[in-house]
Structure formats: structure tokens, C-alpha cells
Structure 1
Amino acid sequence: MAKQTAKTTKRSLEVINTIQKLGGATLEELTDELAISRSAVHLHLRTLLEEGYLTKEGAVYHIGLRFLNHGEYARSRKTAYTLAKQTVTELSDRIDEEVEFVVENDNRGILVHESFHPDSQFPSKERHISDAPTSAGIYYYLHSVATGKAILAEFPDERVEAVLDDWGLPRQTEHTITDRNELIRELEQIRDRGVAFADEEYVDGLREVGRRVTGPDGSVLGAIAIIGPKYRFTDERYTTELPEILTEHVDDLEAEIEESYLDDYR
């Protein structure tokens, strides 16, 4: 049975997503793109504009800054996310590599915190594959990045299947896993060893090591990954040294999260 949704709300969200996808759009462009009447599009635009979710420059509508308020609230409302930000920064400072904290959202991974170390000479994933001015908020398919695979490994089989039914296994590079059975086998290996690897599976030349972050009740809160170029992530550093450092920092983070939960109930 299909879930009941509010059609008007859904249409407004389509308008917002289309404006962002196009990098700004006129009424006429949105009417053509969405294939609905000009008057209906105009009504959505006027409402969103009055509420501050859109801004208008000449004839072109753009995403409004009110979303920034909601995004920052979502990113900081959980103490665990704030603690994860500290871990990302500390870990990046220690190893001079890019570090990310990713959370599952809509059966994909969304980048919540990133620390791109200034001494690193290798551009981040985001600057490789997107024209977006900031990395925070970018979505990843879970099967193609180390954080995503670390999160998937914590899910029961039926949840994994639901993710794959929603998004499939899109190919990012020639190394991306695109076979369900192969992915399921890798998730079993991740459960056994405690860390996930992504070897040029999202961006050519980039390797990742990821580990899930869990709460005191065992639920997965997200995952942290160390990311860097293949020429620096070689042999023992990639397979042993970085996983050990990552595990150490994630274990410390989980202890801090548990302590924060206890403080809330004292």
C-alpha cells in the first residue's frame, strides 16, 4: 500500500529541488521543467518567496538563506554530531588527510562534517565531482564510499535491500561495486574486520577507510572516513595503520557520546 503524502507540499519541494538543480530558474524555465501550469508554479514560487525559502534576482529565483538556519539546526541538534565534528578535526590534524563524518538520510549518505587539511595537495572528492561551493550537505550513494559501506554493514539484510531498491548501484568509476551479491559479501567482511575500504570507487585515484559510529544503544549514528590519494594510501598505511588510527578515534568518540547520554539523564 502506497504511503499517503501531501501533493501540494511535494510539489513545492519539487520546485525547490529543480531551482537548486538548475542553479536558479525563471518562472518559464520551471514551467517547462516541471510540466505543470504557469499559474500553479507561480503560486508555489510566491509562497516560498514570502516565507524566505526563495530569493529573487531579476526574473530568476534562487534558494533562500532560510534553509541555512534549518540546516545548521539539523547539524547541531544532536550532541553526537557536535562531538563527531571535534573528532573529524582532531583526526585530520593528526594525519594531515581529509576526514568526513557522514550520516544516513533518505537511504543515502549526507556529508555533515568535513575537515580538509590545508597541507594536503590532493583536492577533496567534492571538488572533483561537483560545482557546489561547499561540501556539507552533499549526498553519496552508500555503496560507493567507505562511510556508506560502513553504515550499510550495520543494517539488517532487509534494510540493505530497501536501500538498493531505492537507489540501485550506480557506477561512479570502473571500480564501483555494481553487483548486489558482491556488495553483500563485502558487507560481511566489513562486519568482521570493523572497517570499510573504498578503493577508487567514488573518484579515480582516491582511497578511503571508514568506520561506523554507534550510540550507546548500538544504533548507527553515522560513519567517519579518512580519505586521500592512492599514492599516499599505500600498502600497510592503507590496510593497517590508518584503520588502527581511525578505530582509536572512533572508539574515543563513542565513549564521549555515551558519557553525554549519561549526563542527560543524571
Structure 2
Amino acid sequence: MTKQTAKTTQRSLDVIDTIQRLGGATLDELTGELEISRSTVHLHLQTLLEEGYLTKEGAVYHIGLRFLNHGEYARSRKKAYTLAKRTVAELSDRIDEEVEFVVENDNRGILVHESFHPDSHFPSKERHISTAPSSAGIYYYLHCVATGKAILAELPDERVEAILDDRGLPRQTPQTITDRDDLVRELEEIRDRGVAFADEEYVDGLREVGRRVRGPDGSVLGAIAIIGPKYRFTDDRYTAELPEMLTEYVDDLETEISDSYLDDYR
């Protein structure tokens, strides 16, 4: 079944996505990229510029700061996300490693909160491949990170199939799972043991341990992962110590979320 969309809105979104992908773009560059008339592109640019969603430096258009307002609202709208932020910070401080909270969005995982411990000598996985000063808002394919696999393991089979149909299983490293049957088997193992592992599947040399975060109704809200270099994530620390610690913190977080939910209705 074909989805119905508003073409004008879709074109504005295409303009925004293209400007961000190019790191800023001129009218001529956007016209060439989008293959629509110059006058139509200009109309979208002017509307977005006047509303504060774009800014212009010389002839180059950039993403405007009005999106920051929407983004901060989105990640603080749910009390659970705010509680997760505190859990991420506390866990990172305890173990001196990077910790992330990721939520499924648009059939991918989006990084909502991250705590990159200042004493760690290994850069975060996104800074490892990017010069971006902040990783918040970064999208990940779900099949190649521990948070993503932990989320997938909580979803019905038909939902998992729909995600894979939409996003596929692109290879990030030689260790990335690219076969559906292999991924399905791993998701079954994750359900049994309660944690997900990603062993150099997103970035070479990086290991991750992830666990889903459930809401009071049992639905998956997102997932938290501990991330670090393979040379520190060895033997029992990787397979037992970190999973046990992560499970402890996530269980406490889920209790806080449930208590918070009950408080709202008392």
C-alpha cells in the first residue's frame, strides 16, 4: 500500500535533509541535487528562512537553530527520557566508559543521551568516524549496534521484518551481521539472556553491551549500552561484569519509570 504524503511538505523536508547532508548549500547546488525547478527550491528556502528553520551566510543556506528548540522538546517530553539521562550519567561515572540511551525512530536508532567519560582515552564511536562536536541526534542502523539489537529483540516479528525491508542490513565492518536468518537467531539469544552484544559490528575495535528499557506497560522505550575499546572489554568483564552492571541499572531505571508513571495518576 502506497503511503499518502503532502508533496509540498515532503519537498521542504528534502530541502532540509539535503542542506544538512551537504553541510550547507547554495540555491544552485540544491536545484541540482533535488532535480526540481529553481523557483520551487527558492520558494521553500524563503519560507524556511523566514520561519527560522534555515539561516543564510552569504549565498549558502544552513540548518537554523529553531530545530534545536524542537529537538530539546522531543527528548525531554517523556519523563522516562529524562530519567534515562540520569542513569546514563551515573553508570558512565561508575565505570569510566561511554554510555548511550537510544530510541527507535524512523526504523533506525537515534541517540538521545550520551555520557562520554572525560577520563576515557578512547573516543566515542561516532566521534571515531566524525568531526561532529556532539553525537546527540545521530542515527544508527539497528542491526549493528547493541542498543539496536536490544530494541529489535523486543519487537514483534512482523515489525522486525518491516524494519529490515525498509533499512536492509548494510555492512559497517567485516563483523556486521548482513544475513536475516543470522540476525533472527541472535535476537532469540538476546531475548533469552536479556542483553545484546555488538562485537566490532559498527566500528572496528569497539565493543558494546546493550539492554532494552521497558515502560510500565511492557513496551520498549529504548535501550542503554555500555561502549568501549576491545582491549578493555575483555573476557569476563565483557561477557559477565558489564552485562550484570547494566542490568542492575536498567532494572532500577524501569522501577523509577513505573513509579513516576504511577505518581502522575495518583
2:247 is the counterpart of 1:251: no
Amino acid at match of 1:41: V
* Equivalence map 1:1-266=2 (5 Å): 1-266=1-266
TM-score (norm 1): 0.99
Taking the aligned partners of 1:123 and 1:86, their CA distance within structure 2 comes to 21
SS at match of 1:148: helix
Amino acid at match of 1:40: T
SS at match of 2:12: helix
Instruction: Give structure 1 regions of 4+ aligned residues with deviation exceeding 6 angstroms.
Output: none
Query: How far does the alpha carbon of each residue in 1:137-163 deviate from its partner, in whole angstroms, 9 at most, with x for none?
Result: 000000000000000000011000001
Taking the aligned partners of 2:218 and 2:181, their CA distance within structure 1 comes to 26
SS at match of 1:252: helix
Amino acid at match of 2:210: G
The alpha-carbon deviation at position 41 of structure 1 amounts to 0.2
Query: How far does the alpha carbon of each residue in 1:26-75 deviate from its partner, in whole angstroms, 9 at most, with x for none?
Result: 00000001011000000000000000000000000000000000000000
The alpha-carbon deviation at position 126 of structure 1 amounts to 0.8
Taking the aligned partners of 1:140 and 1:91, their CA distance within structure 2 comes to 22
Taking the aligned partners of 1:15 and 1:131, their CA distance within structure 2 comes to 23
Amino acid at match of 2:12: S
Amino acid at match of 1:168: G
The range that moved more, 98-107 or 130-139, is 130-139
Taking the aligned partners of 2:217 and 2:232, their CA distance within structure 1 comes to 36
Amino acid at match of 1:253: L
Taking the aligned partners of 1:166 and 1:229, their CA distance within structure 2 comes to 31
Taking the aligned partners of 2:230 and 2:35, their CA distance within structure 1 comes to 45
Q: Which sections of structure 1, spanning at least 5 residues, go unmatched?
A: none
Q: Which sections of structure 2, spanning at least 5 residues, go unmatched?
A: none
Query: How far does the alpha carbon of each residue in 1:113-139 deviate from its partner, in whole angstroms, 9 at most, with x for none?
Result: 000000000011111122323100000
Aligned length: 266
| RMSD (CA atoms) | 0.5
Taking the aligned partners of 1:235 and 1:108, their CA distance within structure 2 comes to 30
Amino acid at match of 2:183: L
Taking the aligned partners of 2:141 and 2:91, their CA distance within structure 1 comes to 24
Amino acid at match of 1:71: G
Query: How far does the alpha carbon of each residue in 1:156-181 deviate from its partner, in whole angstroms, 9 at most, with x for none?
Result: 11000001000100000000000000
Taking the aligned partners of 1:238 and 1:68, their CA distance within structure 2 comes to 36
SS at match of 1:3: coil
Taking the aligned partners of 2:200 and 2:98, their CA distance within structure 1 comes to 15
Tell me the percent identity: 87
Amino acid at match of 1:244: E
Query: How far does the alpha carbon of each residue in 1:216-258 deviate from its partner, in whole angstroms, 9 at most, with x for none?
Result: 1000000000000000000000000000000000000000000
Amino acid at match of 1:4: Q
